[in-house]
Structure 1
Amino acid sequence: MALSMGQKAGWGLADMGIVVFVVVKQLLVLTYLTAYLGVPVGIAGFVTTAVLIFDIITDPLVGYLSDKTNSRFGRRAPWMFVGVLVMAAGMVGLFSVPAGLGMGGNVGWVVAFFGLATIGFTMVAIPYGAQAGEITQDPKERSVMTGWRMAFASIGILIGGALIPGLAAGMGYAAAALLVTPLMVGAVWLSLWTIRKAPRIETPATEGIAGIIGLVLANRAFMVLVILYGVMTLAIAMITAGLPFAALYLIIDSGDTMLSGAAAALTTLSLLFAAFVVGSILSQAVWVLLSHRMGKLGALVLGLSLYVVLLYALYAVLPSVNVTAIAGMFVLAGMTNGAYQQIPWAIYPDLMDVTRRESGAAIEGAFSAVWLFGQKLANALAPAVLGLTLAAAGWQETTGGTVPQTDAAIATLQMAITLIPAGILLAAILGLMLVYRPMAVRALA
């Protein structure tokens, strides 16, 4: 049964709520620890990484349990309904550190609530990814669904990357996070209501955990794509983790360009994220169309290649005092990032179908868990890699937002958010063409 446009858009709506937390954990936690709690950048990077590695460990368990769930609401909805509440509460808590705890107490508080939030995130994200393989088996429908998903995700990026930092500048991080929680919860709950009548697999999986893992690992094309998507995500996560530092040290508004007033009102970081989101939203329909015309893999390679070119261009113009020109480049960055956002998520459910067709096993939760493994591992590693890189260059932490940095530290930051991610994306492109493509052609034939 074909999905209605309302069901396709409604399914995508949930990611608006999910992505708010994704952006917060990638963008703000490391900066919050180092720039406002005074935690040394190397320690803060490892703290963030440790929590995200814990998050990875919970993925297979939630995927397995959601495959086995038996309820009148289906296998996935109960997990998502409760999980978004846990995620939102944890996000507010991690920014609510009481005064006077000291560095150890500050770190412990953030770790506890960050861990709670990531458990909630897993409870939502794993079943949500599984739904892409359940509610339709039409590859073109999946591209359209994913286009809607990433358009709504772009709004989530705006909320997490622009609205929260802008609000936090005036009311504090905890109050800003609390203010957006109704949007997070409402997006997931409304999505569940919208697709309540969509096709779904009601019967719990019968395979044991070892059998399920074996079936997923046997899908070689899927496993290669998991790895390559993780490589792509490492590049993007390094950029994201470094952007707050770039907004403080590499993009110093001269005050006399077209968007200087907006930068002063919103903060430079919020303006750049707003520009990024505009580009991402504008590009979603384009990437759906190109996926239909060129094939999903061809469109993905094109998008990543353009991303590499843009990162080299950014390296050439930074540091900059022209916030308007940089904002324009961030619109283009959002458009190229749209391919990374959308297309892999439309490809991997097609590979789920291969295992279901060959084995008869409906284990979408397990596939979703493994799929997110590469992404989460990269997101976990990126803050530590960035923290160690900056620490090696002599980066200085502070409790006041900014502090003078050496020329070597600034140059290292510049490379860490441009040239290094560009090289990582080039490696992913080669892997897609030389390793993944032959396997996918055989698997999907």
Structure 2
Amino acid sequence: MDPASGLTRRVGVGWAIGELGIATYIGITMSYLLFYLTQALGISPVWAGLALLIPRLWDALIDPLVGAISDRTRSRMGRRRPYLLVGGLTFGVMFAFLFQAPADASEGVKIAYVIALYLLTSTAFTFYDVPYSSMAAEMTTDYRVRTRLTGFKMVAARIGILVAVIAAPLLFNSQETLVHGFAVMGMVAGGYMVLSGLWAFFATRDAPQIVRPAEPFDLRAEYRALRENRPFLILWTTFLFQNFAIGASATTLIYLVIFVMKIDAALVGAMVATSAVGAMVATPFWVRVAQYGKQKAYAAGIVGAATLSLLMLFMPAGLPAALFVALFLIGLVDGGTQLCPNAMVPDTVEYDEERTGQRREGAIFGTWLLCRKLGMAMGAFIASLFLSAFGFVAGADAAAQGENALLGIRLSYTLVPCVLWVCAFFVLRAYPLTEARFEELKRNISAARAARETA
């Protein structure tokens, strides 16, 4: 895969398998967690949204700190792999307990339980996710190999989401009540996450590492380096708008299918999975397109996402086949809007190293994951506000929802994401890091390193 660094296909694929648990976690929490709170536990949408927002913001805010800690970790297993072991074991277990909320308790007790368990789960997840993602920048410095490596990761992500969104409804609808069904789902999914994390841990035992001496931790210096990394800031802001859009639409999709489109709840899993299938099929195509320019490919994907979001505003109810087609097209575009930015962010590590002489993979990827989590958290919260503001009735079936509630669901899934995608497009236009500029950065870094060694 990259003979110069010693990165083999076996290691690359094994590392990518670690994304299965991450994708399962994200897929279930974004697609079904609000639904669990409102429909299984009977919590009102606005309180449910707040209960999920607090842990998600905490999860996002600690990402850069965890990244900086992993940058400075020294062990016989390397900088990142100890966290794959500990985080991979714990976040799946905590996830299982998240869905054991006392359904007969008062609303306040249920909210407190969800906040506490989601905080624990999010913290454990961060200690796995940040070091794991940071490995993409330290296993190879090849501009195009990073795209292929990210392609493996994105295919695994789509498989993980596909399995999660199909299996989750089958599991939470398999028992007499949603409460018991979600409890079963949590245990099965939690075990799957643990297995994925352990697989990545053992598979990367021989993974190459680019290690530079780390300076003592200085929060102001870390913040200043990130603030002055212009390519990273532009990419980060673009990705933030993207995840606002994804958070709102992903959270609302199950409500759109059941309440607006009037489609049988048994088809929910297949509906949600359709986009994942489209993205998985399209990822190899986007890998090839990105070889001719990651920024241009990313921009094309954003334009496609904005267009499809707007078209979904006019999707008539009661047409399952049409919705399947639309979601598949959305998935084709999503393959590009996920691959490209995740393949671009490792390149900003070299931009920072040329300026500062340090490698901050952990800090950069921690802040990158903060962007994803913050954006999706706020997008999901916007969705919960729309449900509440437009009069959605928690725990009630489709017949009990008024026209305003249905309009709020539709707008949350279509118009809100469309506006956010447009904002992402205009921010991305300022991104300056081309392949030629990246190769120049590598030459400058090598020259500076040689000068230090001969001094």
Same fold by TM-score greater than 0.5:
yes
Cα offset for 1:438?
A: 7.8
Counterpart AA for 1:27: S
Are positions 1:322 and 2:327 aligned together?
no
**Unaligned residue ranges in structure 2 (runs of 5+):** 176-180, 441-455
Q: How does 1:322-361 map to 2 (within 5 A)?
A: 322-361=319-358
Deviations 1:207-232 (A, max 9, x none): 42232332222211111211110111
Counterpart AA for 2:315: V
Q: Partners in 2 of 1:75 and 1:396 — Cα distance?
A: 48
Q: Partners in 2 of 1:205 and 1:212 — Cα distance?
A: 12
Cα offset for 1:372?
A: 1.4
Q: What secondary structure sits across from 1:311 in the alignment?
A: helix
Picking from 212, 225, 236, the partner of 2:222 is 212
Which residue is equivalent to 1:408?
404
Q: Partners in 1 of 2:234 and 2:64 — Cα distance?
A: 18
Q: What secondary structure sits across from 1:136 in the alignment?
A: coil
Q: Partners in 2 of 1:274 and 1:412 — Cα distance?
A: 23
Q: Partners in 2 of 1:134 and 1:127 — Cα distance?
A: 11
Cα offset for 1:202?
A: 4.9
- Farther-moved stretch of structure 1 (382-391 vs 239-248): 382-391
Cα offset for 1:120?
A: 1.2
Deviations 1:259-307 (A, max 9, x none): xxxx67xx222011221121111011000000013x0011111111112
RMSD: 1.9
Q: Partners in 2 of 1:72 and 1:213 — Cα distance?
A: 29
Q: What secondary structure sits across from 1:28 in the alignment?
A: helix
Q: How does 1:293-332 map to 2 (within 5 A)?
A: 293=292, 295-318=293-316, 320-332=317-329
Report if aligned partners of 1:216, 1:367 keep a CA contact under 8 Å in 2: yes
Deviations 1:369-395 (A, max 9, x none): 111122111122122211212211112
Report if aligned partners of 1:229, 1:344 keep a CA contact under 8 Å in 2: yes
Which residue is equivalent to 2:95?
91
Counterpart AA for 2:83: W
Q: Partners in 2 of 1:81 and 1:159 — Cα distance?
A: 23
Picking from 382, 385, 389, the partner of 1:388 is 385
Counterpart AA for 2:403: D
Counterpart AA for 2:184: A
Cα offset for 1:69?
A: 0.8
Are positions 1:379 and 2:383 aligned together?
no
Are positions 1:291 and 2:295 aligned together?
no
Report if aligned partners of 1:75, 1:204 keep a CA contact under 8 Å in 2: no
Which residue is equivalent to 2:427?
431
Picking from 240, 246, 250, the partner of 2:250 is 240
Q: How does 1:4-403 map to 2 (within 5 A)?
A: 4-171=8-175, 172-202=181-211, 205-210=214-219, 211-253=221-263, 267-293=266-292, 295-318=293-316, 320-398=317-395, 402=398
Deviations 1:285-341 (A, max 9, x none): 000000013x001111111111222222222113x2121221122111111111121
Counterpart AA for 2:200: S
Q: Partners in 2 of 1:378 and 1:103 — Cα distance?
A: 27
Q: Partners in 2 of 1:208 and 1:12 — Cα distance?
A: 30
- Farther-moved stretch of structure 1 (146-155 vs 84-93): 84-93
Report if aligned partners of 1:249, 1:410 keep a CA contact under 8 Å in 2: yes
Deviations 1:143-175 (A, max 9, x none): 101111011101111233221122111041121
Q: Partners in 1 of 2:229 and 2:103 — Cα distance?
A: 51
Which residue is equivalent to 2:415?
419
Counterpart AA for 2:170: G
**Unaligned residue ranges in structure 1 (runs of 5+):** 254-262
Q: Partners in 1 of 2:399 and 2:110 — Cα distance?
A: 21
Q: Partners in 2 of 1:165 and 1:347 — Cα distance?
A: 34
Q: Partners in 2 of 1:224 and 1:443 — Cα distance?
A: 16
Relative to structure 1, is the Cα distance of residues 16 and 154 closer, same or farther in structure 2, using a 3 angstrom cutoff?
A: same
Using structure 1 for the length normalisation, give the TM-score.
Answer: 0.92
Cα offset for 1:346?
A: 0.3
Cα offset for 1:401?
A: 5.4
Deviations 1:47-89 (A, max 9, x none): 1111111112221221121111111000001112111222111
Report if aligned partners of 2:295, 2:431 keep a CA contact under 8 Å in 1: no
- Farther-moved stretch of structure 1 (174-183 vs 144-153): 174-183
Q: Partners in 1 of 2:194 and 2:212 — Cα distance?
A: 27
Report if aligned partners of 1:221, 1:443 keep a CA contact under 8 Å in 2: no
Q: What secondary structure sits across from 2:173 in the alignment?
A: helix
Report if aligned partners of 2:83, 2:131 keep a CA contact under 8 Å in 1: yes
Which residue is equivalent to 2:443?
none
Counterpart AA for 1:227: T
Relative to structure 1, is the Cα distance of residues 238 and 35 closer, same or farther in structure 2, using a 3 angstrom cutoff?
A: same
Q: What secondary structure sits across from 2:409 in the alignment?
A: helix
Relative to structure 1, is the Cα distance of residues 405 and 165 closer, same or farther in structure 2, using a 3 angstrom cutoff?
A: same
Report if aligned partners of 1:81, 1:189 keep a CA contact under 8 Å in 2: yes
Q: Partners in 1 of 2:433 and 2:199 — Cα distance?
A: 40
Identity %: 27
Q: Partners in 1 of 2:348 and 2:172 — Cα distance?
A: 42
Report if aligned partners of 1:221, 1:439 keep a CA contact under 8 Å in 2: no
Q: Partners in 2 of 1:372 and 1:364 — Cα distance?
A: 12
